[in-house]
Structure formats: structure tokens, C-alpha cells
């Protein structure tokens, strides 16, 4: 898979390197034949915000055969994209290329007309500006990333790593994403969203914080009846106080957090064991295979069985994805 990454004068090394580090790691680990290339409006070189010169930059033609086009950032929020870049993005999208706008790169995707009437996220400091500039876009100021299937946008700076790992996970499976995360020494999946930074929440400490203790207990009892009252009891808090403190600490609700962890565990079991869907549903606390299938379909757009066929890490499924 060819991944074209947009470069421009004034780009920071961090933004420019984030998709390269994650996606090139896929090839280094021989998980799939992915390779990246840098492109800009004009072929040649660019100068980064840190003062380094980066040469070997391709022109807009690099997008013509790219399977994915990544906008890792943008020069400044008020600057409009060039007509050539907008046309290149629309053309790539129309022939099926996946488009990703990381951080302020969401402005580029929006300016190209690929988010009209849809949902998106950008750095929380720029969320209001994106909404004002494109009132037809539903701007989510809290998510770390929003994946629409054909277009992805992500929140500020480090969430680009989360988004890129999500792209790896959605195409090569959770085991591949976890392997890259371990290699890069980063979390394979961060909980909550930008809300945890906007609202300055109390840090979740699994060794002492009441919310952290409740989360640790929940992870060990996903197959049990893990409801709000049970979690509040573990935290030694009233239901109302617990729900409020939980949202501050994680950026989400207890029910959504537990459901997400159960889905994560179900994917792991589908990839790495031969347990039946019925057994996995019981083990992960979904109660019935029907409930598991319904939640799985909503979250991932496929059934547990089809997911296992694609991402079975024990043999044929993994080999199929690498070939």
C-alpha cells in the first residue's frame, strides 16, 4: 500500500514524522508491504519549523496512485488550500483512496469538500473555528479521532499517533497494532478523548485513585454484571458522585467504557483463540451472542465471524492480510 504524506514549509518534524514512524513500522515488522512518500504542491524540498531542509519531496502526482493520502497538519488555520491540492484530494478520494487529516489537517480535508454534512474532529483549540468555517460539518470537540470509513480526522498533536495506530488496527488487526505500539513504546489505545485535556481531569491512578481502582476491578470482571452501581461500590462512592467523577477522569460514561473494553477483549479472543462466538460473548459479559453481534456490528461494521476470518492471528487470516 502506498501512503502519500503532505509536506509543507513550516511543518513541524513531529507532525511530519508521525505517520511515517507508524506506517513504516508496518513494513519493518513485515506485517504488510506498506511504504510512505512525501509530497507537496511543488516537487523539491521544504523547510521545517525547526529549520531543517527536507528534500526528495514529490509533487501532487504522488497522490494519483496512492492508496492513502495523509494531511499531517496545516500551516495555519486561516490559510486556504491551493486549488491543485484540493483537486488532488478530491480525485484521490473519488477513486477510493483513504484520506486522513491529522490535527489541523482536518481543515485541509474540510476545505477540499470531503467532510460536507459529516462529522469531524480537530485540535480542541481550533474546533470552534472549524465549525464556523464549515457550518455544515458536525465538529466533535472531544474525540481523539473520527473514522468515517473513507475519511479520518484526528485531534491535536499526539492523537495523530492514536489515529495512525487505529488505521493499522482497522486494516491489520489488534495484534498488529499492539505489536507496533510495544515497539514504539506507546499505548495501543488511549481511553476517553480530548475532553480529558479540556476539562483538566484528575489523573486515573490504578494503584490508589477510587476511579482507577474501579476500572482495575472492572477489567478483571468483564464477564460479570459490571453496572454503574457495582463500579460505584468498588470506588466507595455514591452512584451520582461516581458517574460525575468517572466522566471527569475518563471523558466518557461508565457504560460506554465497559462496553468498549468488552469489545476490545472480544476482538482479542477472536484473533488469538478458537473459542466460539457464544463462549466469547459469555466470557466478555455480553450475555448472549446476539448482543455481542449487535454491539460488534455497530462498533466495527462487521460481524464477529467475519472479523475472525480477516484478522485471525493464528495463521491463515494474518497471512492473507500480509500477502
Q: Quickly list DSSP for 106-174.
A: HHHHHHTTSSTTSEE---GGGHHHHHHH-TTSEE-SS-SEEE-SSEEEE-STTHHHHHHHHHHHHHH-H
What is the enclosing helix (H) or strand (E) of 97? none
* Phi, psi (rounded to 5 degrees) for 147: -105, 115
154 and 103 Cβ atoms separated by less than 8 Å: yes
User: Looking at 4-8, 102-106, 191-195, which range is the least confident one?
Assistant: 191-195
For residues 6 and 25, what is the distance between their CA atoms, to the nearest angstrom?
Answer: 19
95 and 29 Cβ atoms separated by less than 8 Å: no
pLDDT at 300 (0 to 100): 77
pLDDT at 208 (0 to 100): 58
Asked whether the predicted pLDDT for residue 266 surpasses 70, the reply is yes
Contacting residues for 65 by C-beta, under 8 A, at least 6 apart: 2
pLDDT at 190 (0 to 100): 61
Chain centre distance of CA 267: 16
DSSP SS3 for 203? coil
pLDDT at 142 (0 to 100): 74
23 and 36 Cβ atoms separated by less than 8 Å: yes
Residues forming CATH 1.10.10.60 domain(s) in the chain:
201-251, 256-322
pLDDT at 186 (0 to 100): 79
DSSP for residue 74 = -
Please, where are the H alpha helices in the chain? Answer: 13-28, 83-94, 105-111, 127-133, 159-172, 174-184, 195-198, 210-220, 228-235, 239-250, 254-272, 277-283, 289-300, 304-311, 316-322
Residue found under cell 475532553: 195
pLDDT at 198 (0 to 100): 40
Provide mean pLDDT across the span 48-72.
97
* Phi, psi (rounded to 5 degrees) for 14: -65, -50
Residue found under cell 446476539: 290
190 and 143 Cβ atoms separated by less than 8 Å: no
Domain covering 256-322 in this structure, CATH number: 1.10.10.60
DSSP for residue 288 = S
Query: 231: closest CA among 219, 255, 209, 214?
Result: 214
* Phi, psi (rounded to 5 degrees) for 51: 100, 5
The whole-model pTM stands at 0.63
pLDDT greater at residue 186 or residue 244: 244
Provide mean pLDDT across the span 221-226.
92
User: Looking at 112-121, 172-181, 301-310, which range is the least confident one?
Assistant: 301-310
Residues forming CATH 3.40.50.880 domain(s) in the chain:
2-184
pLDDT band at 309 (very low <50, low <70, confident <90, very high): confident
Q: Which residues pair with 120 in a beta bridge?
A: 139
pLDDT at 15 (0 to 100): 94
pLDDT band at 255 (very low <50, low <70, confident <90, very high): very high
For residues 143 and 130, what is the distance between their CA atoms, to the nearest angstrom?
Answer: 15
Q: Grid coordinates standing for 100? A: 486522513
For domain 201-251, the question of CATH label 1.10.287.130 is answered with no
pLDDT band at 299 (very low <50, low <70, confident <90, very high): confident
Domain covering 2-184 in this structure, CATH number: 3.40.50.880
β-pairing, 68-71 vs 53-57, is unpaired
Asked whether the predicted pLDDT for residue 106 surpasses 50, the reply is yes
Share of the chain above pLDDT 90, in %: 63
Asked whether the predicted pLDDT for residue 42 surpasses 90, the reply is yes
Provide mean pLDDT across the span 284-311.
87
228 and 243 Cβ atoms separated by less than 8 Å: yes
pLDDT at 315 (0 to 100): 58
Amino acid at each position: 500500500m502506498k501512503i502519500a504524506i503532505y509536506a509543507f514549509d513550516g511543518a513541524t518534524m513531529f507532525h511530519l514524522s508521525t505517520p511515517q514512524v507508524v506506517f513504516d513500522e508496518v513494513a519493518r515488522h513485515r506485517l504488510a508491504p506498506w511504504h510512505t512518500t512525501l509530497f507537496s504542491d511543488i516537487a523539491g524540498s521544504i523547510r521545517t519549523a525547526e529549520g531543517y531542509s527536507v528534500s526528495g519531496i514529490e509533487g501532487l502526482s504522488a497522490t494519483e496512485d496512492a492508496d492513502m493520502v495523509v494531511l499531517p497538519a496545516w500551516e495555519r488555520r486561516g490559510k486556504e488550500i491551493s486549488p491543485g491540492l484540493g483537486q488532488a484530494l478530491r480525485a484521490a478520494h473519488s477513486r477510493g483512496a483513504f484520506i486522513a487529516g491529522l490535527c489541523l489537517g482536518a481543515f485541509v480535508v474540510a476545505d477540499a469538500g470531503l467532510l460536507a454534512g459529516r462529522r469531524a474532529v480537530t485540535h480542541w483549540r481550533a474546533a470552534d473555528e472549524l465549525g464556523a468555517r464549515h457550518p455544515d460539518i458536525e465538529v466533535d470537540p472531544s474525540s481523539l479521532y473520527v473514522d468515517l470509513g473513507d475519511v479520518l480526522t484526528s485531534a491535536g498533536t499526539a492523537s495523530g499517533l492514536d489515529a495512525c495506530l487505529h488505521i493499522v488496527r482497522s486494516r491489520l488487526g489488534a495484534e498488529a497494532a499492539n505489536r507496533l505500539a510495544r515497539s514504539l513504546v506507546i499505548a495501543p489505545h488511549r481511553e476517553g478523548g480530548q475532553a480529558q485535556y479540556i476539562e483538566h481531569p484528575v489523573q486515573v491512578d490504578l494503584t490508589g485513585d477510587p476511579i482507577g481502582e474501579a476500572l482495575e476491578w472492572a477489567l478483571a470482571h468483564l464477564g460479570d454484571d459490571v453496572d454503574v452501581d457495582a463500579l460505584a461500590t468498588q470506588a466507595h462512592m455514591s452512584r451520582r458522585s461516581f458517574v460525575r467523577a468517572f466522566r471527569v477522569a475518563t471523558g466518557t460514561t461508565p457504560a460506554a467504557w465497559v462496553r468498549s473494553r468488552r469489545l476490545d477483549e472480544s476482538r482479542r479472543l477472536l484473533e488469538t483463540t478458537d473459542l466460539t462466538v457464544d463462549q466469547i460473548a459469555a466470557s466478555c459479559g455480553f450475555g448472549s451472542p446476539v448482543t455481542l453481534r449487535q454491539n460488534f456490528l455497530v462498533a466495527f461494521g462487521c460481524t464477529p465471524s467475519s472479523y475472525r476470518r480477516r484478522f485471525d492471528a493464528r495463521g491463515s487470516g494474518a497471512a492473507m492480510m500480509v500477502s
